[in-house]
């Protein structure tokens, strides 16, 4: 599969009561499913993130919600952008993702990263540690998760994890696509080149071309064809009546586009795709105006021609 046009649902504050919250999530996923998006992602967080809202705002647990979305959609691939490795034992995550793949009939994506939101760790009792700790922990986790989702039964004993003959059955596919998010040139990009199918590049528009050069070099260093490591960028898409590109706040101009769906398509082409990135994953801000039916459909129809093929 290819991730060329994705939707991330990163906010659950719609101005509705709790009873209407998940139906609103389903409505967004169904719009994506029928308008040209190939994938739908949730965040793997327990609190809302800074810059989007306050920690006490609604946040659904990702894999429970993705299982329900699998039953509500037909074609989009489903995953997290991205799973925080620190929140789950790797054997549990292997079961999470293989179960999602069974429920969705082969539409699961395993997105995974080191974890970064310190407040969640502190308040919920997860060990945070240094970035080096979290990166090393991710490296050990991959030595368990990747064999399990292939149907192997790894035995592993490391600093952070130990398993014996670990199994994950049933499985729907021999290979579940693997995504990592980040742009660190010393650790994350080389790790993506070694193990992953897809890299979601976390960088500003003005950094993308250089980051893609680094990705190419990392692949060539280990004799991997760079075209086999897909790339995407997560960006905000501000659209609606009267919205124009000059309305984007200064702090978000390197990671957000705005305007009509056609204007957004033009900006995605010039700022992301022309820099050598393969695809784009959009989030549509809803925290101030709620969910606006039809916006996702219009965006999908405008962007689909850019990423077809």
The rounded distance, in Å, linking the Cα atoms of 133 and 114 is 9
Neighbours of 103 (CB within 10 A): 17
What is the CA angle 180-95-174, rounded to 5? 70
Per DSSP, the three-state class of 26 is helix
pLDDT band at 247 (very low <50, low <70, confident <90, very high): confident
Could you report the per-residue pLDDT of 52-107, keeping only the tens digit for each?
A: 899 999 999 999 999 999 999 999 999 999 999 999 999 999 999 999 999 999 99
Q: At which residue do the structure tokens 């793949």 appear?
A: 101
Q: At which residue do the structure tokens 């999908």 appear?
A: 300
The rounded distance, in Å, linking the Cα atoms of 276 and 286 is 29
CA dihedral 165, 169, 172, 175 (to 10 degrees): -10
Beta bridge mates, 279: 232
Is the pTM here over 0.85, yes or no? Answer: yes
Tokens describing residue 46: 């327990």
Could you report the per-residue pLDDT of 203-226, keeping only the tens digit for each?
A: 999 999 999 999 999 999 999 999
The rounded distance, in Å, linking the Cα atoms of 202 and 179 is 13
Please say whether the structural domain 5-307 has been given the CATH code 3.40.50.1860: no
Could you report the per-residue pLDDT of 192-206, keeping only the tens digit for each?
A: 999 999 999 999 999
pLDDT of residue 16: 84
Beta bridge mates, 163: 156
């Amino acid at each position: 599969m290819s991730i060329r046009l994705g939707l991330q649902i990163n906010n659950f504050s719609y101005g509705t009561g709790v009873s209407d919250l998940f139906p609103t999530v389903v409505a967004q996923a169904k719009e994506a499913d029928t308008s040209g998006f190939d994938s739908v992602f949730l965040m793997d967080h327990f609190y809302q993130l800074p810059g989007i809202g306050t920690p006490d705002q609604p946040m659904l647990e990702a894999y429970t919600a993705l299982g329900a979305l699998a039953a509500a959609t037909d074609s989009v691939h489903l995953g997290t952008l991205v799973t925080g490795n620190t929140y789950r034992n790797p054997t549990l995550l292997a079961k999470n993702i293989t179960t999602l793949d069974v429920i969705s009939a082969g539409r699961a994506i395993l997105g995974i990263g080191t974890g970064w939101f310190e407040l969640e760790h502190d308040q919920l009792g997860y060990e945070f540690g240094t970035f080096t700790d979290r990166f090393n922990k991710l490296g050990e986790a991959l030595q368990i998760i990747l064999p399990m989702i292939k149907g192997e039964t790894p035995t592993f004993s490391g600093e952070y994890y130990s398993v014996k003959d670990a199994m994950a059955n049933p499985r729907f596919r021999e290979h579940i696509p693997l995504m990592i998010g980040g742009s660190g040139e010393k650790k994350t990009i080389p790790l993506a080149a070694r193990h992953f199918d897809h890299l979601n590049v976390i960088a500003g528009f003005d950094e993308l071309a250089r980051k893609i050069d680094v990705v190419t070099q990392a692949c060539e260093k280990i004799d991997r064809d760079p075209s086999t490591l897909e790339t995407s960028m997560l960006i905000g898409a501000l659209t609606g009546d009267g919205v124009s590109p000059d309305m984007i706040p200064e702090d978000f101009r390197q990671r957000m586009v705005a305007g009509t769906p056609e204007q957004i398509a033009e900006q995605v082409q010039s700022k992301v795709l022309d820099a050598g990135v393969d695809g784009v994953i959009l989030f549509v801000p809803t925290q101030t105006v709620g969910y606006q039916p039809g916006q996702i459909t219009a965006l999908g129809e405008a962007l689909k021609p850019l990423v077809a093929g």
